[in-house]
A and B are shown apart, each in its own frame.
Chain A
Amino acid sequence: MSDRQLKKALTAYFQRAGMPTAEARQVDRTAARCRAVMGTWAAGSGEPRQSFWGFLADVFHFEGIPILASQLAVLLAACMALLSSRMGVYEVPMYMPLFILAVLPAFFRGQVYRVSEVEAATRTSGALLTLARLVLAGGGALVCLTFLLALEVWLQRSCENLGRLVIYCLVPYLTCMTAMLAMIRRRKKNGAPVCAAIALGSVLFWRSCSFLFPWLYEASAMGVWVAAVLVYSWLFAKELVYIIHADKEVNMYGIVDR
């Protein structure tokens, strides 16, 4: 009789005799271990929960490093491009959409990898998670923008155009950011590719602007830029207010697409 046949015969005998088999004993041991583990836990609703700042630190731990690393990569590429080609003040704005492109994976990864449904069922609302990512991405972009402007000022050896430059940079950045937030709010399945297309399209648009509409970069056209900043700031603020309201009003529904 082979070992296998012997094992089978013994198992059958134990079963007939009502004795626990090795598998049944293993199941009992697992059940006992589960009981022991569960017994050490307090009732769910009575457990302590993380504060907002603790939550932000957790989000930074999991998402901050990829967000900042990708923005840093864009900053390096932009600095190298600025140092090698001198297009003047026209050049800096066209890099701004790339900072949005760099953070798209962080904002849309839940949707891409189908984790958003699990995330939606946690105590963190989708709105709060978006806000936390926004804080990280916005902070990173601010640092990068400051560095880029400082580099441009150093290259020009003058602070004369600094104010104009800030405005030139804000318009494409706010346009792409607002578009991204609108896509997140609409929760369309093609949100990520649409945002990527908008960001890349913006780079091309701002690049060609300097050739097609050179008058845009003359001092006399500042009114157009200021108006654009105001319009996009208003649209951006609207999206932001929507997210804050969605979080405050515990807007739990509409997280999944279907």
Chain B
Amino acid sequence: MELSIDRLTKHYGSKIAVDCVSAVLTPGVYGLLGANGAGKTTLMRMLCAILEPTSGEVRFGGKEVASMGEAYRDVLGYLPQDFGYYPSYTAAEFLSYIAALKGLPRDMAGRRVGQMLEMLDLAAVANKKIKTFSGGMKQRVGVAQALLNDPQVLILDEPTAGLDPKERVRLRNLLSEYAGNKIVILSTHIVSDVEAIADQVFVMNAGQFVMHGSVPELAEQVRGKVWELTVPRGQAQFWQERVTVANYRHEGDQVVLRIIDDERPSDQAAPCEPILDDAYLYYFGEKEA
């Protein structure tokens, strides 16, 4: 099973949203990382075949997805960034409706809906209207509808948006477990989500993949460029104006700065173990990130 992206491009008038990106995805979890407006959502929509590319193509198992029709949709699960729902529907009704659109026979749909509700801890509120749910519960309904047809390709656009830390951990664990022999692509601008579960990370900027690799590989790229420096509180502003400060922690009267810079910023600065956040900040700087 392979999902290949071949020179995929999307223009909106003179604006280039996705600029000739290529990749080959095999089963695993892929994180798509990038700032808002980097082109993640446009790319995801093209991967779902709900947005026509200006040029290039997406292939699943060697076939172009645009010509696969129902066969591709049968193996696809999608959670859009702006997940909407019908306010008059309960969670169970909404999932049953999506199951009908996914073509699941009624008895199978009933079983599946029950299982998904239980799996995502929504069984107790199955008969409550979605409009009464918290943001996190709505997001879980979104994930449940994406998983209903047991998709081989699962595409989630900002799945952790609006979730509290506990729900984020729960969702990450669920996705890791689910990924097994499937292709899971999740886009986010929250580095820690990707860091926790992605086997491979694609970093997008201005419609292009600017970095690609496993989390340790990407972090390794900034080894020797991450420093920890303890300074008096009054000097913190001075350093923030001069270098990229990834983190800022108070320790008594002093502050500990995590600095990302090519050279040791001060004799007192000690090198530290890089993480994905550092790589992201190194390439994009504080403003863009």
Contacts and interface: CB of A to CB of B under 8 A. Distances in A.
Interface of A: 27, 30-31, 33-35, 37-38, 40-45, 47-50, 54-55, 58-59, 61-62, 109, 113-125, 129, 250, 252-256, 258
5 contacts: A48-B105, A62-B100, A121-B50, A250-B67, A255-B51
Nearest to B78: A121
A18 B65 CA distance: 47
Contacts of B77: 121
Nearest to B70: A123
Contacts, number: 146
Contact of A119 (B49, B51, B101, B106): B101
Contact of B170 (A27, A116, A120, A258): A27
Given A48-B105, A122-B103, 15 more contacts: A33-B118, A34-B174, A41-B150, A44-B74, A54-B105, A58-B100, A61-B100, A62-B96, A115-B86, A117-B50, A118-B145, A250-B69, A252-B72, A255-B51, A256-B50
A45 B106 contact: no
B281 interface: no
B29 to A, nearest CB: 15
Query: What 4 A-B pairs come out closest when comparing CB atoms?
Result: A114-B84, A250-B69, A253-B52, A58-B100
B150 A114 contact: no
Contact of B105 (A49, A113, A117, A122): A49
Contacts of A117: 45, 50, 78, 80, 82, 84
Given A41-B150, A58-B106, A35 B86 contact: no
Nearest to A33: B119
Contact of A45 (B71, B119, B180): B71
B196 to A, nearest CB: 12
B255 to A, nearest CB: 26
A83 B79 CA distance: 51
Interface in B143-194: 145, 149-152, 169-170, 173-174, 177-178, 180
Given A121-B73, A250-B70, A256 B49 contact: no
